[in-house]
């Protein structure tokens, strides 16, 4: 299916991680340009070099960015615009998935979880909306949240679930404000996914996680990426404010 994404430019936060990296590859396969933002400079430069070799040109640019720092986010957008001339899409795919039972969550980890998993989404979305409005672009934003936003956590991730629930409310609120400008804002709520950040948890509790999934298996990052790219295409122009479930049946509404 041609998603008509050729020559579109997408910023992907957390683009060096499992889901973010797969989304970046999907966009490149569709002929889009990509700016990957991640705090991990070494992995980011390796990924840029790998994609340059695979696609034969500089269609992916890496910008080292701490998404909890608003000035760095502003710089990210300036660099993306200077490099490609326009920005059409923002995908927020970064996350921090800390473990602690509720009674043991420290003040520091609570605040860090909110900073990485919620406040940074606000900063990035605000920058994107202002950019789209200033340039008259009918842009799109995708916020990766989690099924935990709707079901809570039973495995020691209450602070993560709270932040992800905040993303759902933020997504709806932004979407209502900017819909009249032709800007779409969408959420995507995966369940458990095979990524580097979940590797250790799956080694210990794979059977427990799989037992809760009607489809009976853990998702691959590529399965999340395919839906993400579709939602950012013109094929999904009539979707905004919604958070799409992609959890193997954990969420059914």
What is the distance between the alpha carbons of residues 21 and 225, in angstroms, rounded to a whole number? 9
- pLDDT at site 201: 73
Task: Tell me, yes or no, whether 2 lies in a domain.
Answer: no
Q: Which two tokens stand for residue 183?
A: 């800007």
> What phi and psi values does residue 61 have, to the nearest 5 degrees?
-120, 135
Angle (CA) 63 68 72, round 5°: 40
Task: Tell me, yes or no, whether 145 lies in a domain.
Answer: yes
What is the distance between the alpha carbons of residues 30 and 127, in angstroms, rounded to a whole number? 25
Instruction: Write down the catalytic residue from 55, 160, 209, 238.
Output: 160
H or E segment to which residue 194 belongs: strand 193-194
Burial class (CB in 10 A: 0-12, 13-18, 19+), 198: middle
pLDDT at position 1 over 70: no
Task: Tell me, yes or no, whether 66 lies in a domain.
Answer: yes
- pLDDT at site 192: 82
Mean local confidence (pLDDT), 208-225: 89
What is the distance between the alpha carbons of residues 69 and 211, in angstroms, rounded to a whole number? 39
pLDDT at position 236 over 90: yes
DSSP 218: P
Task: Tell me, yes or no, whether 33 lies in a domain.
Answer: yes
Task: Tell me, yes or no, whether 1 lies in a domain.
Answer: no
Percentage with pLDDT > 90 across the chain: 79
Task: Tell me, yes or no, whether 199 lies in a domain.
Answer: no
pLDDT at position 213 over 90: no
- pLDDT at site 131: 98
Mean local confidence (pLDDT), 115-139: 98
Task: Tell me, yes or no, whether 63 lies in a domain.
Answer: yes
Q: Residue-wise over 112-146: b if at least 16 C-beta within 10 A, else e?
A: ebbbbbbbbbebbbebbbebbeeeebebbbbbbbb
Domain span at 19: 9-193+220-246
Residues 137-154: tens digit of each pLDDT:
999 999 999 999 999 988
Q: How many domains does the chain have?
A: 1
Q: Residue 23: which of 154, 193, 152, 160 has the closest Cα?
A: 193
Residues 153-201: tens digit of each pLDDT:
888 899 999 999 999 999 999 999 999 999 999 999 998 888 777 777 7
- Say what the pTM is: 0.95
What is the distance between the alpha carbons of residues 84 and 35, in angstroms, rounded to a whole number? 9
Task: Tell me, yes or no, whether 147 lies in a domain.
Answer: yes
Q: Which two tokens stand for residue 219?
A: 């998702």
Q: Look up the CATH number of the domain holding residue 49.
A: 3.40.50.720
- Catalytic, 238? Answer no
The chain-wide mean pLDDT, for the chain, equals 93
Cross-strand pairs, 12:
36, 91
Tell me the HSE value of 253 on the side-chain side, using a 13 A CA sphere: 11
Burial class (CB in 10 A: 0-12, 13-18, 19+), 82: exposed
pLDDT at position 21 over 90: yes
Q: Which two tokens stand for residue 207?
A: 């059977």
Mean local confidence (pLDDT), 34-39: 96
- pLDDT at site 78: 98
Residues 82-106: tens digit of each pLDDT:
999 999 999 999 999 889 999 999 9
In this prediction, residue 56 has a pLDDT band, given cuts at 50, 70 and 90, of: low
């Amino acid at each position: 299916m041609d998603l008509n994404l050729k020559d579109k430019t997408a910023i992907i936060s957390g683009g060096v991680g499992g889901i973010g990296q797969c989304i970046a590859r999907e966009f490149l396969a569709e002929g889009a340009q990509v700016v990957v933002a991640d705090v991990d400079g070494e992995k980011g430069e390796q990924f840029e070099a790998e994609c340059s070799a695979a696609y034969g040109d500089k269609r992916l640019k890496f910008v080292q960015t701490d998404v909890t720092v608003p000035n760095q986010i502003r710089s990210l957008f300036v660099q993306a615009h200077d490099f490609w001339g326009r920005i059409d899409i923002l995908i927020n795919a970064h996350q921090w998935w800390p473990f602690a039972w509720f009674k043991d969550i420290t003040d520091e980890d609570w605040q860090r979880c909110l900073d990485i998993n919620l406040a940074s989404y606000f900063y990035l979305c605000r920058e994107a909306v202002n950019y789209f409005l200033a340039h008259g672009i009918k842009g799109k934003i995708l916020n990766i949240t989690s099924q935990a936003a709707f079901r809570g956590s039973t495995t020691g991730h209450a602070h993560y679930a709270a932040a992800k629930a905040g993303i759902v409310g933020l997504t709806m609120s932004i979407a209502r404000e900017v819909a009249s400008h032709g800007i779409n804002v969408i959420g995507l709520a995966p369940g458990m996914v095979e990524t580097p950040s979940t590797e250790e948890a799956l080694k210990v509790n794979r059977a427990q996680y799989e037992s809760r999934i009607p489809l009976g298996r853990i998702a691959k990052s590529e399965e999340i990426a395919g839906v993400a790219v579709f939602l950012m295409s013109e094929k999904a122009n009539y979707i905004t404010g919604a958070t799409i479930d992609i959890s193997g049946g954990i969420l059914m509404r």
